[in-house]
Structure 1
Amino acid sequence: MAERESGTVGIILAGGRGERAKPITLESADYIRSKALIPFAGRRLIEWVVDACREQGIRRFYVVAQGLENRSQIKLLLGHGERYGVEVRYSRSSFDRYNVGSGAATLHNLEQWDLGGRALVLPVDSIFDFSLEELEATHRASDAVVTVAAVARSPLEVAGKYGAMRTDGDGLVSGFVEKPGLGLIHELFPEATTDSCALVPTNAGMYLVDCDRLRLAAREPELMRQAQQSLDWGGDLLPWLVRNGRAVAAHHIARLGDLGNVQDYLLTLRHVLSGTYAQMNQLMPDPRSEQPRYWIHESSLHTKDDISGTTLADKIAQGDVTVGPGVRIGRDVTVGSGVRLEYTDIGDGAELREGARLSGAALGDSSVIGPYARITDSYIGPMAEIHSARDRPALLDGYCAVGDGAHLWQGSRLSGVSVYPRLRVPALANLPAGTALTSSDDILRWV
């Protein structure tokens, strides 16, 4: 993609605690890593965000952080942007007390940085397929204070999960409904029924703003009071702007990948590895193979497992290991005989023992998958170990998540269960989907 210089700056809202994404956002039971630092397809989320925006011409970024750990983690990775060819500045810690919602954080920090012109406000727990140039064109043509990136979704996708927008013939937003139920969706959008092709425009959580006019609106007494108490973009700030006659436009983008919880994380990862996201295709290295589509680091191709003594390259050539479609294998990964992989991301230094089968999975750095394990639609954190054997295979599916450094014993059968970091879990089965094992006390209840 040819780079261009844009007058737009980026504001990254990175201060959230990532509660919905636990245990992915946990390094231990009581230590939350920033959502910005969640690993995704070989990099951290905020790195993908910065690179995607830089490629479209944004060279200055302002990061809204929150608290010591969040701020220091992000700054340790990004620094001031030198490695990424951009400039990065951070919100002041003294402003943390004003970050009472995404809208309030934006308004207060626009003042802190004394920003004018255009700014692209975006979260750090999503990836987007969009054209900044087209977004800017809509923004100019509508003379909007804010232009909302919109994604069209079915009523069933929207119900209870996404904010919906009603627009007029000129593309201006006439109303917002935050996470409506299915009945209300059909009432407000009668054309969008469950058996039709009509879709509902939803708020993607990315906003192109006119900084000067938005700062002027923020001086209205009512909005000032709200910004001191609680002010989110979708539920509060956008509806206030529309109610008070400020022009808010909607611009449809190609795609949004939500990474805010385990299921959405894994579904988005599958789509990225499948090549669905054009922008990510341009940012990622070229696949080693297009049919089937996969990436394997050179070091892993030449790594031998300690049982057969053969390299991964040998195993693939002999048909002993099946890789793809949609597989990314990082550095120094050991893959045993008989392994089958599809739509799976494997971090550096991971080990996959003989006979393991993975589909729709994400493995963190230095994780270990035991012999004949079956891992489907599940997240395995860094240095986690899934013990398994031919006669007692571990079976995980249904969007399980195993936290950093946790161990699961042979014979474990889990579906839709979360295991918090560093726990050692005996072979368990038949736990209800949605169960979270957060401590040894939780484990004892099920033993």
Structure 2
Amino acid sequence: MGTVGIILAGGRGERAKPITLESADYIRSKALIPFVGRRLIEWVVDACREQGIRRFYVVAQGLENRSQIMLLLGHGERYGVEVRYSRPSFDRYNVGSGAATLHNLEEWDLVEQALVLPVDSVFDFSLAELTETHRSTGAVVTVASVARTPQEVAGKYGAMRTDPRGLVSGFVEKPDLARIADLFPETRNDAEALIPTNAGMYLVDCARLRQAAREPELMRQAQQRLDWGGDLLPTLVGRGLPVATHRIARLGDLGNVEDYLITLKDVLAGDYPLMNQLMDKPNSQAGRYWIHETSLATRDEITGTTLADKIEDGSVVIGPGVRIGRHVAVGKDVHLEYTDVGDGVELRAGARLSRSSCGDAAVIGPYADISDTYVGPMVEIQSDREHPVRLEGFSALGDGVQLWPGSRLSGVSVYPRLRVPAIANLPSGTRLTSSDDILRWI
């Protein structure tokens, strides 16, 4: 009996706003976040299908979330897989990732091995190796782990203590450095010592997990609030059930703007071998860039020359780590590196983008200087030589935002469809969610 995939896609994506907003009051499912030319859930399905998973169960939540995912995936025919969805009547039971999993295991009557994974991360892992650890340890659940230093773990990741057999003996949720030193004494004299952290992906023996979940106290918890990392796994370990850990190569979190952009840069740099296999062959292996043929042939309206012409004469510099979608118009003296450019984008003369994402049909004005920034679909950046726009510091512009010339933002998020006059010196972390917010800073 093969492995099935269970995709936990019901979260609201609060941390990732404005990426997860189509408008101020309409949420885009995390599963539908654009990433390197596709939607996140498409990468998840493809990565699992390439390792032999052909049947998927999607745990959705609410009308917006469920309908958006179903419109994209359907029942899996386009992807060569079978996809089934949680019932709307089960939404009331989805009180935490663990509870949602347990209730739907019963609903779907799953007894085989299942890979449970979120939709807001990309993974580099081997299902065969994960399965081997799962079988050799006799685990009910095997937790995919990523090794991190104490500085990386502190306050951000859940850590796991293991015994000599490789079974988990305890969990600690987002410990500080002092707590890490107590739990992992080897880190006191070695700041680079690695600690296993929960990657949020689990290989599950469905029959045994369902049996364990019928214990009255766990059933009670599943009716209230039960998350995988904070509740379900510690409960299983506390009851003496075998929970193993298996180290995977890499995890890229996409749950907030900063992590999204860092993971994007790493993927474009080739640091995820599994993603490399799923992506098209680059136009240039040396420069590692991907440019759709329609964009190479597109002429900009000022010089009338194609992108291919500009790359050849050196008036446009591409790479490393650049992907350009279809029908993109690129002006003279544009420089791009580690940047994802969607379909129908206009990059006007002198624009510079690095470590950034530029959504479909966005317009980047002349001499805009953009780094470490998410630019959503249909954004218009009205920059010019005398008043260039500068964006940096993990800023994010939601769908349809308009920026006037001279704006300078660092670490600022702008919600969809807002018109922002020339503005600067906003504190990092500022969120402009409405026109009233903008007026406060003018």
TM-score range for the pair, normalised by the shorter chain length: over 0.9
Which of 15, 21, 25 in structure 2 is aligned with 1:26? 21
Listed one character per residue, the Cα deviations across residues 77-128 of structure 1 (whole Å, up to 9, x for unaligned) are 0000000000000000000000000000000000000000100000000000
* 1:64 corresponds to: 59
Q: Which ranges in structure 2 are unaligned for 5 or more consecutive residues?
A: none
1:39 aligns with 2:25: no
How many percent of aligned residue pairs carry the same amino acid? Answer: 77
1:422-437 correspondence to structure 2 within 5 Å: 422-437=417-432
* 1:229 corresponds to: 224
The runs of at least 4 aligned residues of structure 1 exceeding 6 Å deviation read: none
* 1:322 corresponds to: 317
Q: Report the CA distance between 1:194 and its aligned residue.
A: 8.2
* 2:103 corresponds to: 108
Listed one character per residue, the Cα deviations across residues 347-382 of structure 1 (whole Å, up to 9, x for unaligned) are 000010000001001000000110000000000000
1:99 aligns with 2:83: no
* 2:210 corresponds to: 215
Asked if 2 retains the 8 angstrom alpha-carbon contact of 1:25 and 1:34, the reply is yes
Alignment-mate amino acid for residue 199 of structure 1: L
* 1:3 corresponds to: none
SS at match of 1:405: coil
Which of 295, 300, 305 in structure 1 is aligned with 2:295? 300
Alignment-mate amino acid for residue 358 of structure 2: L
1:271 aligns with 2:256: no
Q: Report the CA distance between 1:160 and its aligned residue.
A: 1.2
1:48 aligns with 2:81: no
SS at match of 2:123: strand
Alignment-mate amino acid for residue 296 of structure 1: I
* 2:341 corresponds to: 346
Q: Report the CA distance between 1:30 and its aligned residue.
A: 0.6
* 1:80 corresponds to: 75
SS at match of 2:311: helix
Alignment-mate amino acid for residue 116 of structure 1: V
What TM-score, normalized by structure 1, do the two folds share? Answer: 0.98
Asked if 1 retains the 8 angstrom alpha-carbon contact of 2:142 and 2:203, the reply is yes
Count residues in correspondence: 442
Asked if 2 retains the 8 angstrom alpha-carbon contact of 1:338 and 1:356, the reply is yes
Which of 368, 377, 382 in structure 1 is aligned with 2:377? 382
1:164 aligns with 2:154: no
Listed one character per residue, the Cα deviations across residues 13-65 of structure 1 (whole Å, up to 9, x for unaligned) are 00000000000000000100100000000000000000000000000000000
> 2-side partners of 1:274 and 1:187: how far apart?
37
Alignment-mate amino acid for residue 210 of structure 1: D
1:259 aligns with 2:254: yes
> 1-side partners of 2:379 and 2:192: how far apart?
43
Listed one character per residue, the Cα deviations across residues 274-296 of structure 1 (whole Å, up to 9, x for unaligned) are 00000000000000001111000
Alignment-mate amino acid for residue 406 of structure 2: G
Q: Which ranges in structure 1 are unaligned for 5 or more consecutive residues?
A: 1-5
What TM-score, normalized by structure 2, do the two folds share? Answer: 0.99
Asked if 1 retains the 8 angstrom alpha-carbon contact of 2:351 and 2:364, the reply is yes
Which of 420, 440, 444 in structure 1 is aligned with 2:435? 440
Which of 391, 398, 405 in structure 2 is aligned with 1:396? 391
Alignment-mate amino acid for residue 379 of structure 1: Y
* 1:127 corresponds to: 122
Q: Report the CA distance between 1:190 and its aligned residue.
A: 1.9
1:248 aligns with 2:251: no
* 1:405 corresponds to: 400
SS at match of 1:360: strand
Asked if 1 retains the 8 angstrom alpha-carbon contact of 2:22 and 2:416, the reply is yes
Q: Report the CA distance between 1:192 and its aligned residue.
A: 2.2
1:8 aligns with 2:3: yes
Asked if 2 retains the 8 angstrom alpha-carbon contact of 1:156 and 1:194, the reply is no
Asked if 2 retains the 8 angstrom alpha-carbon contact of 1:128 and 1:256, the reply is yes
Listed one character per residue, the Cα deviations across residues 319-369 of structure 1 (whole Å, up to 9, x for unaligned) are 000000000000000000000000000000001000000100100000011
Q: Report the CA distance between 1:314 and its aligned residue.
A: 0.2
> 1-side partners of 2:31 and 2:189: how far apart?
35
> 2-side partners of 1:359 and 1:247: how far apart?
46
